[in-house]
Amino acid sequence: MEGPRVVIWIFTSLCNLNCPHCYAYRFRGVNELTLKEKLRLVKEMGELGVEHVGISGGEPLIHKDIIPIIKTLTDHDISISIVTNAQHVREDVVRTLSECNVHLYVSLDGPKEVHDKIRGAGSYDRIMKSIEKFREHGVDYSMVMAINKLNYRYVKDFIFESIRLNSNFASFIPTMKSGKAILTGVRIDFKNFMWAIRVIDDTSRELSYPISLWCTPFASIIVKSKYIRSSYCRTQDIVDVDPAGNLLLCDVIDIRVSSVKGRTLSQAVKEYYLNDVVWSVINPPKIPKPCMECPLHYKCKSGCYARALIEYNDLNAGDPLCPKVVEWRKHSKIKIV
């Protein structure tokens, strides 16, 4: 059985901010892997043929282990991207990012007044200082916005900010009802997300600017811009790992399928792919009627299963942000859990 091409690694729950939409908040206080365990995990990723590791947190760039991990991943010919709030980035970390060709996704929540309201006074200016360092050292970066009810009206401003900051493209991810967002209630709902998508679509076409829509597999049925791309996660190519070394069904829901504790990554991945729940996501036995009739069904496979579980209590009930699913449930009078 082949292993994953991509590992999404929630590297740490350690963070220097306390954002109201943080899905990784739920990992606060877990016993994270030791450096020795992390280095072994990286070595086994290389042996398994992993091609790319996407590191997130928490805030990975303030972690004491980040430099040896980046260097070891590079030694195993594994490409790296890191999601960062870019608040405090040491010079030695910036040099390592540059030397190892790491791509940074810098989190920005909109124009200065909006970003500071969400992340704290002064946080916007600290990002600008970090970006100056990235430019100076030739670090590759782009901007990413977590769309939620606090900032969805500023998606166009975010795109203009991305262009001003020389970001080659901009990314958007819808905030889900997970982690801190459960407590704060800031997750994006269908109506407001559709409004934001229309603005993103129009702006992308108007400016000929590339956009990446994360966790929005149904995007191509509603957007017209040829500059917008989305991805699909119901695949055997991707595995999510949490700070404690658990292999998760998805990094926003707490379904632990396997673990690298006490076993090799190869053994953990084998257990992962033999799991019935995992296969019900990769090859869903049944999906809603509008999904079966949709031209994207063979890739989308009823959309984000994490959102479906959170909102409908069923992994394969259809994506709560997909207009086809929402319309069908409305007319079918299916209750939302």
Query: Do residues 77 and 143 share a domain?
Result: yes
CATH number at residue 145: 3.20.20.70
Asked, for residue 273, whether it belongs to a domain, the answer is: no
Work out how many domains the chain is built from and give that number.
2
Q: Are residues 57 and 85 in contact, defined by beta-carbon separation less than 8 angstroms?
A: no
Q: In a structure prediction context, what are the per-residue pLDDT tens digits for the chain, which is 337 residues long?
A: 578 999 999 999 999 999 999 999 999 989 999 999 999 999 999 999 999 999 999 999 999 999 999 999 999 999 999 999 999 999 999 999 999 999 999 999 999 999 999 999 999 999 999 999 999 999 999 999 999 999 999 999 999 999 999 999 999 999 999 999 999 999 999 999 999 999 999 999 999 999 999 999 999 999 999 999 999 999 999 999 999 999 999 999 999 999 999 999 999 999 999 999 999 999 999 999 999 999 999 999 999 999 999 999 999 999 999 999 999 998 886 654 4
What integer pLDDT is reported at residue 1 of this predicted model? 57
Query: Do residues 141 and 200 share a domain?
Result: yes
Tracing tokens 């399928």 back to the chain, one arrives at: 257
What integer pLDDT is reported at residue 288 of this predicted model? 96
Query: Do residues 133 and 182 share a domain?
Result: yes
Query: Do residues 98 and 247 share a domain?
Result: yes
Closest Cα partner for 325 from 294, 285, 295? Answer: 294
CA distance 274 to 268: 10
Instruction: Among 212, 235, 255, give the residue marking a domain's end.
Output: 255
In Å, what is the CA distance from 224 to each residue of 10, 19, 94, 128?
33, 32, 38, 32
Closest Cα partner for 213 from 200, 203, 199? Answer: 200
Query: Do residues 293 and 247 share a domain?
Result: no
Query: Do residues 190 and 79 share a domain?
Result: yes
- Which structural domain range is residue 183 located in? 6-255
Query: Do residues 109 and 205 share a domain?
Result: yes
Asked, for residue 260, whether it belongs to a domain, the answer is: no
Asked, for residue 274, whether it belongs to a domain, the answer is: no
